[in-house]
Structure formats: C-alpha cells, structure tokens
C-alpha cells in the first residue's frame, strides 16, 4: 500500500521552528558555554606548549587539537562534551511534545509523523554542527593569532575531516537521545538513561572490553611468555572496543589528526613493524583517510541506525496523552 | 437527508486482547452536530484518533469527508480540525506564532495565513492578546486558541474532544456559543463531553457510548422515550386529606407510568405527556391541598444517569449470572 503525499511535507516548517527554539533557548547558551569553557583549558595549555616548539613542528594546527602525549587535548574534551550536548538537545524532543500536549494537535495537521521526527533531528544536528564549527573556527583562529603560523593545506583538510567526524559523532548521540525521548514518556528518565549509556560507553566500556576479549579468546601461552598480545585476542579487543562510539570517534580522530604516529591498534602496529615500516613517519592524507574510513562510516551508520530505530518506535507509538 | 460526512462501518480497535472500540456503525450528516457521550475510558478518544488516521484501525472502515483516513490521512487531516482535550500550545511562543506554525504545516501562503489568523483570533476574542506568550493564557483562553486553529483551517468537520472540561461556567458558556457559531456556518461538529446540558443545547443527535459500543443513538426526545420510557417527569407537592391516599389516584391518570412518593407530601410521576392538569384535578378531587406542580422536560442529564445506572446493573447481573 503506497501512501499519498510526500513524507517531507512540513519538514522545513518543523526544522525552522525547532532551530528558532534552540537558538533562543537558555539550554543552547549553557551547552555552548560548557563546550567553549571545557575546550579553553586544553587549548591554552596546548598553545603554551607549542610556543616553545613552533619551529620544529610541521603540524602545528593539528597539535592544537591534539597535542599528543599525556596532556589533555581539545579532542579528548570534545569526546566527552559532544555527547552531553547531543543528549541535551535530544532527550525531550518527542516526550516534551507529549507532555505539553502539543503532539496530537500537531499531528492532526496534514503532515506525516516523519516530518516531525526528521525536522527535529535535522534541527538538533544543525545546532550541534553550528556549535562545533564555531569551536573549530575559534581554535584555528586562536592558533594563527597565538602561534603566528598559517596552517598548510594538508593540515587544514585534516582539521576539516575532523570536524565532519565530530558532527557524525554528535549525530549518533543525538539519535540515541531522541530514541530515548520516544521510548520514555518522562524527559527526566530519558535524560538519565541517555547519560547512563554515555558514562558506560565512555568510561566503563574501555576498561571492561579488554577483559571480555580475554574471556572470549584466551591468549596463547606462547605470546604471553613473549610479552606480546595474542593477535586473536587483539582482534577481539579491537572489535569489542568499537561498540563504543566514543572509542570509534577517538580512533578515527587520532588517525586523522596525528599523521606522524598513526596508532593503528596493537595488531596493525606489530604487522607494520614486521614489514619493516617505520612507525612514526608521517602518513599522507589519503592513507590517513583510508585508515579512519571504517570508523567514520561506523559513526555515520550508528547515527542512521539509531534514527531508524527512533522512527520505527515513533510510528508505532500511540499519540494520545 | 443530505450526504453523510463521516461514515463508520464495523469500526473496531483492539489492543492485544482488549477490545476498546467494538464494531461501531454510525453516520454523521453534513452540517449536523453530533454528540458522543459516555463515561471515561469508553473509547471515545480512540474513535476520534481512528477517524484522523492517528491510530491504526483493527477492523472495519471509516470515511471522513469522503476519504479513508487509513489510506489518505493527509486529505482527511486537511479537511478536519481536531481540538484535543486539554489542548497544548508552545508556551514561549505568542498566540500568533503558535497559529503561524500550524498554518505553515497546513501549507498556507503567507498572505492567506496572516488574514486567516487575524480573522480567527477576532472570532474567538483573542485579538487583544494576539502577541502575548501563551504561557500567560488561562485555560479558557487556550481552549479558545485551539478553536481559533479550527476556524483558521476552515475545517469542514470539527472534532472537539471534551472541549469544555476544566473551564469555569462563564468560559464554558462563551465557548459553547462559539461552537454554536461554527454550527451555524455549516461546519459538521462532533463533540464528546460530560457537560450534558451543553451537549443537549448544541447537538442535533447524541450517541451513548459504553464499553466501546454505541448503545443507543438519536435525538434527545427519542432517547428520552427509549431510556426513561417516558419523556415527562411531573413533580406534585400536595398534602392529602386525612384518610385519603393520593398515590393510587395519581397513578390512575391515563398516560402515567410510575408514581414515586419522594417525600411526605411529594410525588414524582413519569408520563408520556404533560399530565399537570390531570394531576391537579386528581388532587383536588381527593380534597388534597395542592402546593406545587412542575414538569421537567426530558433532560439529557436524566437520560444519561438513568441509562448508565441500568447499564451497570445489567453488567452486574451478567457477572452474577456468570
């Protein structure tokens, strides 16, 4: 059975209204402030550190985002803050309409439910993208001003790719927040659960997944004696860690932003060493992109899968308050 | 009889095992005002949502304004205005902004939109507060704003779900007048309500709804005859002369079906016509002192109460029998 009319009818209207709401809201202001403040500290320390080594480093701009070593980086901060922002913009998307009792009134207009959901998702994504672009401009601008070295074309492209990956990462979390906003009638429950998943994925999963990998595929005693990782276990470890969007993001961004030490995971590093390649030599952009490709696609796919799940749940939901 | 605007045939909604709406058959004729009455949880809102295509139909068919809401929901929703019970608006937006949003969803061009919104707000007497945030609106004002949305839409069919619940008497009165205006313009109106005298004033026909089924349907006098068995209730207040019983004499009047002694000197007669004159004669003939005589037109309130009393009684009997 084909349905008449376009599912897109009304998306533009919903999108504009939601954007206006977001940009007017205190929530937007607070979340943007949170992001800028959280990023300011690592950015400042990165600039201080880089000032001493300006002449030696070919990738100054990238170092601003991710100085490497043990220092806290803008990227690591973003890995934490982006989910919080995305959850902040998505957790009450649908249940908020329910509770304001506007849902049935809006859906009684000649639009499909698709329009409401898609409009809200796109609006959230655009707001997140605007925030991230602002931050990106801030970092690039500060970098040029403070360090006095204009970025090269290669660096610029890499940082743009980083921006796109960050937006995809935001999209995945936004999708999850909106899924919860459909599943749970109370915004507080949806927000708490979304934050719970966020904590689990970013803090607990990186600690737990290696143990699970060992359980699934116990390392061979010979590798253990040699003190290196069993490749079989390593494969499992990597596969499991990639369930977490945080680790996917981290891996992709690290590959893009650190051309000199592309850590490809313990397994690939070992292989490269065996093949006689020098780990630590700068990779060309194309190679970095190829390596980061699966993770980036994984994030985008995650966002799409979560959106589809939200869509299915919303189509089946009862409208009545 | 003009053509029906809403037709339901065997309309059914099931949630798993539970049957919420059980094979409804009804027609609503163009320009008619139709009242759907029943206790909470009788399935009224579910029926409305099925008519709008907002919830799936389990079995049967429904047609609204010539379209099947299951297959062509947009066509239906373009022609039908829906005012949900306790309608909600975006609090931070003004009345005009709220209406502009829905007008855009309806796909009206800017110039049409502006004219229609101003016109609709004037009709519901909200022009003065058109640019105030809805957060400051009272319950009654919100409800009127909801009605303004239907007026702006130029809806052929207006579906009002408990439109006056939670309103003070003054606002209720105003609101009922506004619905009356809609009706005069030829809009087909479907109302669900608990406020029976309002429904009685507005509705051409009424359906009593219980347990997902329409139990009886018709104009108020028709229902009165069906449910009360008689349309007229006459209250007689008369002191009987010593040694003379009034009740049997009153009962002997032609057309009286029951006599009920409601107090020491008060009697309630139910009859199929106005029996005041005969009652007065009977009292005087028995040398009684007649102090008061009054007649109640059949009220929907009485019908409703009586009907659902009977209903719960039969339900209990069925349960006891089982």
Partners of A107 on chain B (C-beta within 8 Å) are 54
Inside any domain, residue A162: yes
Tokens of A293: 């490709």
Considering only the beta carbons, identify the residue of B82, B90, B106 that sits closest to A100.
Answer: B90
Looking at chain B, the whole-number percentage of residues with pLDDT higher than 90 is 42
> Nearest Cα to A165, choosing from A77, A254, A244?
A254
Inside any domain, residue A28: yes
Rounded to a whole number of angstroms, the distance from the CA of B91 to the nearest CA of chain A is: 9
Alpha-carbon distance of A290 to A288, in angstroms, equals: 5
Q: Is B88 within 8 Å of A100 when comparing Cβ atoms?
A: yes
Tokens of B198: 């309002």
pLDDT of residue A7: 79
Partners of B148 on chain A (C-beta within 8 Å) are none
Instruction: Give the residue numbers spanning the domain of A115.
Output: 11-316
- Under a CB-based contact definition with an 8 Å cutoff, are residues B207 and B35 in contact? yes
CA A101, chain centre distance (Å): 32
The pairing of beta strand B33-37 with beta strand B205-210 = parallel
Show Cβ contacts of residue A168 under 8 Å, excluding neighbours closer than 6 positions.
Answer: A296, A299, A300, A303
- Under a CB-based contact definition with an 8 Å cutoff, are residues B157 and B122 in contact? no
Phi-psi region for residue A218, left (φ > 0), alpha (ψ -120 to 50) or beta? beta
Residues in B lying within 8 Å of A, measured between beta carbons: 45-46, 49, 52, 54-55, 71-75, 77-78, 80-84, 86-92, 101-102, 104-107, 146, 149
Rounded to a whole number of angstroms, the distance from the CA of A154 to the nearest CA of chain B is: 45
- Under a CB-based contact definition with an 8 Å cutoff, are residues A160 and A72 in contact? no
Least confident residue range of A258-267, B42-51, B75-84, B170-179:
A258-267
Least confident residue range of A47-56, B20-29, B33-42:
A47-56
Q: Is A105 within 8 Å of B75 when comparing Cβ atoms?
A: no
Q: Is A101 within 8 Å of B87 when comparing Cβ atoms?
A: yes
Number of Cα atoms under 13 Å in the Cβ half of residue B257? 12
Tokens of A240: 């499991």
| Higher pLDDT, residue A61 or B94 | B94
Angle at A18 between CA A16 and CA A22, to 5 degrees: 115
Mutate to test the interface with A, among B13, B66, B88 (most CBs of A within 10 A): B88
Phi-psi region for residue B154, left (φ > 0), alpha (ψ -120 to 50) or beta? left
> Nearest Cα to B90, choosing from A143, A24, A236, A293?
A24
Q: Is B149 within 8 Å of A105 when comparing Cβ atoms?
A: yes
Alpha-carbon distance of B23 to B6, in angstroms, equals: 15
Alpha-carbon distance of B83 to B95, in angstroms, equals: 16
Inside any domain, residue A32: yes
> Nearest Cα to B67, choosing from A4, A264, A202, A196?
A4
CA B218, chain centre distance (Å): 12
Q: Is A319 within 8 Å of B49 when comparing Cβ atoms?
A: yes
Tokens of B213: 């089924």
Rounded to a whole number of angstroms, the distance from the CA of A78 to the nearest CA of chain B is: 31
- Under a CB-based contact definition with an 8 Å cutoff, are residues A264 and A272 in contact? yes
Rounded to a whole number of angstroms, the distance from the CA of B71 to the nearest CA of chain A is: 6
Q: Is B84 within 8 Å of A101 when comparing Cβ atoms?
A: yes
Q: Is A104 within 8 Å of B84 when comparing Cβ atoms?
A: yes
SS3 A279: strand
Question: Considering its fold, how many domains does chain A have in total?
Answer: 1
Alpha-carbon distance of B200 to A267, in angstroms, equals: 80
Would the pLDDT of B319 be above 80? no
Rounded to a whole number of angstroms, the distance from the CA of A318 to the nearest CA of chain B is: 7
Q: Which pLDDT tens digit goes with each residue over B132-180?
A: 999 999 999 999 999 999 999 999 999 999 888 888 888 888 899 999 9
pLDDT of residue A275: 66
Inside any domain, residue A138: yes
CA distances from B273 to B232, B292, B300 (A): 6, 18, 17
Considering only the beta carbons, identify the residue of A13, A109, A319 that sits closest to B55.
Answer: A319
Partners of A13 on chain B (C-beta within 8 Å) are 101, 104-105
Partners of B92 on chain A (C-beta within 8 Å) are 21, 24
| Higher pLDDT, residue B113 or B86 | B113
Inside any domain, residue A3: no
Question: Burial, B201: exposed, middle or buried (Cβ in 10 Å; 0-12, 13-18, 19+)?
Answer: middle
Q: What is the pTM of this model?
A: 0.85
Q: Is A21 within 8 Å of B101 when comparing Cβ atoms?
A: no
Inside any domain, residue A280: yes
The 3 state secondary structure assigned to A45-71 is HHHHHHHCCHHHCCCHHHHHHCCCCCC
Alpha-carbon distance of B279 to B236, in angstroms, equals: 8
pLDDT of residue A258: 82
- Under a CB-based contact definition with an 8 Å cutoff, are residues B284 and B298 in contact? no
Could you tell me which chain B residue has the CA closest to the CA of A7? B74
Inside any domain, residue A5: no
Q: Is A320 within 8 Å of B45 when comparing Cβ atoms?
A: yes
- Under a CB-based contact definition with an 8 Å cutoff, are residues B38 and B208 in contact? yes
Would the pLDDT of B204 be above 60? yes
Partners of B88 on chain A (C-beta within 8 Å) are 100-102, 105
Alpha-carbon distance of A69 to A67, in angstroms, equals: 7
pLDDT of residue B216: 86
Instruction: Give mean pLDDT in consecutive 10-residue pieces for chain A, a chain of 321 residues.
Output: 74 94 92 91 85 73 76 86 94 92 92 93 96 92 84 88 95 96 95 95 90 85 78 84 89 85 60 64 80 91 95 88 57
CA A303, chain centre distance (Å): 10
pLDDT of residue A2: 63
Q: Is B146 within 8 Å of A105 when comparing Cβ atoms?
A: yes
Q: Is B102 within 8 Å of A102 when comparing Cβ atoms?
A: no
Helix (H) or strand (E) holding B1: none
Q: What is the sign, positive or negative, of the torsion defined by CA atoms of B285, B286, B288, B294?
A: negative
Partners of B83 on chain A (C-beta within 8 Å) are 105
CB atoms within 10 A of CB A89: 28
Partners of A105 on chain B (C-beta within 8 Å) are 82-84, 87-89, 102, 146, 149
Mutate to test the interface with A, among B13, B51, B54 (most CBs of A within 10 A): B54
Could you tell me which chain A residue has the CA closest to the CA of B78? A110
- Under a CB-based contact definition with an 8 Å cutoff, are residues B13 and B50 in contact? yes
Domains, chain B, with CATH or none: 4-218 (3.40.50.300), 232-296 (3.30.70.920)
> Nearest Cα to B70, choosing from B49, B42, B43?
B49
Size of interface A-B (CB pairs under 8 A): 81
Q: State which of B78-92, B253-267, B274-288 shows the largest mean pLDDT.
A: B78-92
pLDDT confidence of B322, banded at 50, 70, 90? low
Inside any domain, residue A78: yes
b (16+ CB within 10 A) / e for B47-58: bbbbbbbbbebe
Q: Is A1 within 8 Å of B77 when comparing Cβ atoms?
A: no
């Amino acid at each position: 059975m084909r349905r008449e009319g376009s599912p897109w009818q009304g998306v533009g209207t919903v999108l504009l209204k939601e954007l206006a709401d977001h940009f007017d809201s205190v929530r937007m202001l607070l979340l943007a402030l949170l992001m800028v403040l959280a990023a300011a500290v690592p950015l400042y320390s990165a600039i201080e550190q880089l000032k001493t080594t300006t002449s030696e480093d070919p990738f100054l701009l990238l170092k601003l985002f991710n100085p490497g070593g043990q220092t806290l980086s803008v990227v690591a901060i973003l890995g934490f803050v982006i989910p919080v922002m995305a959850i902040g913009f998505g957790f009450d998307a649908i249940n908020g309409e329910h509770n304001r009792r506007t849902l049935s009134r809006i859906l009684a207009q000649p639009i499909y439910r698709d329009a409401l959901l898609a409009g809200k998702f796109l609006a959230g994504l655009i707001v997140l993208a605007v925030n991230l672009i602002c931050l990106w401009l801030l970092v690039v601008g500060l970098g040029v001003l403070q360090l006095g070295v204009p970025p090269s074309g290669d660096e610029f492209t890499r940082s743009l790719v980083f921006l796109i990956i960050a937006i995809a990462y935001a999209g995945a979390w936004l999708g999850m927040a909106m899924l919860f906003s459909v599943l749970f009638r109370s915004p507080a429950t949806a927000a708490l659960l979304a934050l719970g998943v966020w904590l689990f994925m970013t803090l607990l999963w990186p600690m737990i997944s290696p143990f699970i990998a060992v359980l699934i595929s116990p390392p061979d005693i010979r590798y253990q004696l040699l003190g290196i990782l069993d490749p079989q276990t390593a494969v499992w470890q990597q596969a499991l860690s990639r369930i977490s969007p945080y680790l996917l993001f981290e891996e992709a961004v690290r590959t893009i932003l650190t051309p000199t030490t592309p850590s490809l995971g313990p397994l690939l590093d070992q292989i490269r060493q065996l093949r006689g390649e020098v780990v630590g030599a700068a990779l060309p952009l194309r190679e970095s992109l190829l390596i980061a490709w699966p993770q980036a696609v994984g994030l985008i796919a995650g966002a799409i899968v979560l959106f589809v799940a939200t869509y299915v749940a919303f189509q089946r939901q009862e409208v009545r308050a | 009889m003009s053509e029906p605007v809403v037709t339901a045939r065997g309309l059914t909604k099931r949630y798993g095992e539970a049957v919420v709406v059980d094979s409804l058959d009804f027609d609503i004729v163009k320009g008619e005002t139709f009242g759907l009455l029943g206790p909470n949880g009788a399935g009224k809102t579910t029926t409305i949502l099925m008519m709008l295509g907002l919830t799936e139909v389990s079995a049967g068919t429904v047609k609204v304004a010539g379209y099947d809401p299951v297959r062509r929901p947009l066509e239906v929703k373009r022609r039908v205005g829906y005012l949900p019970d306790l309608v909600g608006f975006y609090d931070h937006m003004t009345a005009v902004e709220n209406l502009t949003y829905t007008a855009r969803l309806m796909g009206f061009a800017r110039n049409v939109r502006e004219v229609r919104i101003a016109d609709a707000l004037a009709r519901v007497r909200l022009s003065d507060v058109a640019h105030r945030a809805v957060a400051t609106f009272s319950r009654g004002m919100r409800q009127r704003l909801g009605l303004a949305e239907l007026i702006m839409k130029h809806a052929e069919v207006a579906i009002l779900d408990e439109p006056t619940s939670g309103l003070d008497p003054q606002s209720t009165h105003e609101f009922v007048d506004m619905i009356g205006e809609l009706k005069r313009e030829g809009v087909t109106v479907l109302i669900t309500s608990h406020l029976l005298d309002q429904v009685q004033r507005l509705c051409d026909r009424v359906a009593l709804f219980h347990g997902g089924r329409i139990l009886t349907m018709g104009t108020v006098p028709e229902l009165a005859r069906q449910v009360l068995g008689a349309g007229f209730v006459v209250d007689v207040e008369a002191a009987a002369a010593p040694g003379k019983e009034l009740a049997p004499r009153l009962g002997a009047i032609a057309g009286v079906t029951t006599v009920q002694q409601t107090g020491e000197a008060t009697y309630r007669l139910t009859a199929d016509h106005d029996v005041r004159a005969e009652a007065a004669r009977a009292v005087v003939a028995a040398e009684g002192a007649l102090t008061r005589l009054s007649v109640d037109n059949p009220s929907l309130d009485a019908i409703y109460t009586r009907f659902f009393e009977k209903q719960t009684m039969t339900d209990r009997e069925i349960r006891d029998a089982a």
